[in-house]
């Protein structure tokens, strides 16, 4: 049966500044994580081999706690990735693939942004993506959100009047957002939108009401993201920001004014955030092949999954210090290091190449019990024995004395 996806069109300024969609916090429960697998079709032979090891590590540490959705360039690449993961002894039970040509692997920036509408139904936001201000190929990547919406049969909200990248924003799950103007409001992103208009978009479609703007800086060829916020500041929860100390922020080209703003920022209720500092690497990052990147690496660009926190590491003395601090921030999860030396050489880390898909809040369907043991009985809520029935809560009684309550939705 052919599936259709609902495309919702919202012309610029046709809405008042009211919340229609809300982006859940990264730490909220995931249905899965999206990755866009590296390939050689944009930058030539060797690109995939150089960048793939980090992706293998990520899948290995994600698949036991949530689904892993992998976008691959073509069917041949899917077969190759399947074999690569199998050779690494990684189960494919919770891994699936979506074949769509793409330019690069930075799915945080070009991929689907999942939100809840006011009925708690999932939707995908499809902002325009222009390769970080026309600094990199982007035509294929720009199409990914709408293609995934069709694959999943989830409504897509067409927001192509505004250029926006997922790595340009950090939210606290309570209405506040950190952003840099250099990567959102600048002339190479949104020359025809005022800051107020951009805020209206983000209130309506992400649920943001407290905007914490840093000026940022233009990175040129050294940082084509123009100082994405997720490289140096991140919300741990609604009360805490993890960042770097002032000297390291200055090293990271964060201005004195922006450092002051970050350290003094308050939440939507006017309460100051707790600040936790992570170190930079002790030394410049060298790639796995021995090339000097001439820069120290950030640990702030980590990704919070259901069971794990994926932390960029660089074969540096400060790796263990950063892992220890992050483990303390997430005591119910396992902080694991992902070797990002080669990703860092190309301008990103773990958070840049991952995108979370939250659970569907309105899904209550449960698979019917199989492999029923002897003396298996099903009763209604009054204790009367019944046959399996759709749309009615039922009590399943097992031979070993355990009991479950299930609701099978037609």
pLDDT of residue 387: 64
pLDDT of residue 78: 98
pLDDT beyond 80 at 67: yes
* Residues near 49 by beta carbon (within 8 Å), at least 6 away in sequence: none
pLDDT of residue 409: 46
Distance of CA 140 to the CA centre of its chain: 19
* Nearest alpha-carbon partner for 113 in 127, 131, 125: 125
User: Measured between alpha carbons, how far apart are the two ends of the chain, in Å?
Assistant: 18
Whether 207 contacts 358, CB under 8 Å: no
pLDDT beyond 50 at 366: no
pLDDT beyond 60 at 372: no
Return d(Cα 356, Cα 143) in angstroms, integer: 18
Whether 143 contacts 111, CB under 8 Å: no
Please give the C-alpha separations between residue 170 and each of 124, 206, 234, in angstroms, as whole numbers.
Answer: 18, 11, 6
Q: Is 141 a catalytic residue?
A: no
* Residues near 192 by beta carbon (within 8 Å), at least 6 away in sequence: none
The larger pLDDT score, comparing residue 44 to residue 399, is at: 44
Across residues 118-144, what is the average pLDDT? 97
Per annotation, catalytic residue among 285, 343, 352, 395? 352
Tens-place pLDDT, residues 154-169: 999 999 999 999 999 9
pLDDT of residue 222: 72
In the chain, where are the structural domains located?
A: 7-358, 365-410
pLDDT of residue 394: 62
Whether 116 contacts 122, CB under 8 Å: yes
Tens-place pLDDT, residues 230-287: 999 999 999 999 999 999 999 999 999 999 999 999 999 999 999 999 999 999 999 9
Return d(Cα 53, Cα 47) in angstroms, integer: 11
Please tell me the least confidently modeled range out of 89-103, 105-119, 268-282, 378-392: 378-392
Strands (DSSP E) along 363-407, which ranges?
377-379, 394-397, 403-406
> What's the predicted TM-score (pTM) here?
0.85
Q: How open is the CA angle 270-125-92, to the nearest 5 degrees?
A: 110
Tens-place pLDDT, residues 306-365: 999 999 999 999 999 999 999 999 999 999 999 999 999 999 999 999 999 999 998 644
pLDDT of residue 8: 53
Tens-place pLDDT, residues 188-238: 999 999 999 999 999 999 999 999 999 999 876 678 899 999 999 999 999
Q: What top-level class would CATH report for the domain 7-358?
A: alpha beta
Tens-place pLDDT, residues 5-35: 555 554 444 445 789 999 999 999 999 999 9
Q: How open is the CA angle 128-134-140, to the nearest 5 degrees?
A: 55
Task: Give φ, ψ of 184 to 5 degrees.
Answer: -130, -50
pLDDT of residue 17: 73
Q: How many CB atoms lie within 10 A of CB 339?
A: 16
């Amino acid at each position: 049966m052919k599936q259709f996806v609902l495309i919702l069109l919202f012309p610029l300024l046709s809405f008042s500044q009211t919340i229609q969609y809300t982006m859940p916090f990264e730490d909220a429960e995931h249905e899965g994580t999206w990755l866009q697998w590296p390939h050689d079709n944009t930058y030539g032979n060797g690109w995939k081999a150089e960048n793939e090891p980090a992706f293998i590590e990520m899948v290995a540490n994600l698949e036991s706690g949530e689904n892993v959705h992998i976008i691959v360039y073509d069917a041949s690449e899917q077969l190759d990735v399947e074999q690569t993961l199998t050779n690494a002894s990684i189960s494919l039970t919770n891994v699936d693939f979506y074949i769509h040509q793409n330019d690069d692997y930075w799915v945080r920036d070009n991929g689907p942004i999942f939100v809840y509408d006011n009925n708690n139904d999932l939707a995908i936001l499809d902002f325009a993506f222009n390769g970080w201000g026309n600094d990199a190929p982007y035509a294929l990547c720009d199409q990914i959100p709408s293609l995934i919406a069709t694959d999943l049969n989830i409504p897509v909200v067409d927001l192509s009047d505004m250029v926006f990248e997922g790595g340009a924003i950090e939210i606290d799950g309570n209405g506040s957002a950190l952003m840099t103007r250099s990567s959102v409001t600048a002339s190479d992103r949104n020359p025809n939108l005022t800051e107020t208009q951009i805020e209206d978009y983000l209130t309506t479609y992400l649920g943001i009401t407290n905007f914490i703007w840093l000026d940022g800086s233009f990175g040129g060829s050294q940082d084509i993201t123009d100082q994405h916020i997720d490289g140096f500041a991140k919300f741990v929860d609604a009360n805490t920001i993890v960042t770097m100390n002032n000297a390291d922020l200055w090293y990271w080209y964060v201005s004195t004014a922006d450092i002051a703003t970050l350290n003094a920022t308050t939440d939507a209720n006017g309460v100051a955030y707790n600040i936790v500092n992570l170190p930079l690497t002790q030394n410049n990052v060298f790639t796995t092949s021995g090339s000097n990147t001439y820069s120290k690496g950030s640990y702030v660009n980590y990704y919070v999954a259901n069971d794990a926190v994926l932390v960029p590491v660089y074969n540096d003395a400060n790796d263990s210090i950063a892992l220890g601090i992050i483990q303390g921030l997430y005591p119910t999860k396992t902080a694991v290091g992902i070797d990002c030396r080669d990703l860092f050489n190309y301008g990103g880390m773990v958070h840049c190449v991952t995108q979370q898909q939250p659970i569907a809040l309105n899904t209550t369907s449960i698979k019917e019990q199989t492999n029923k043991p002897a003396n298996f009985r099903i009763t209604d809520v009054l204790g009367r024995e019944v046959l399996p029935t759709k749309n009615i809560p039922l009590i399943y009684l097992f031979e070993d004395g355990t009991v479950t309550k299930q609701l099978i939705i037609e």
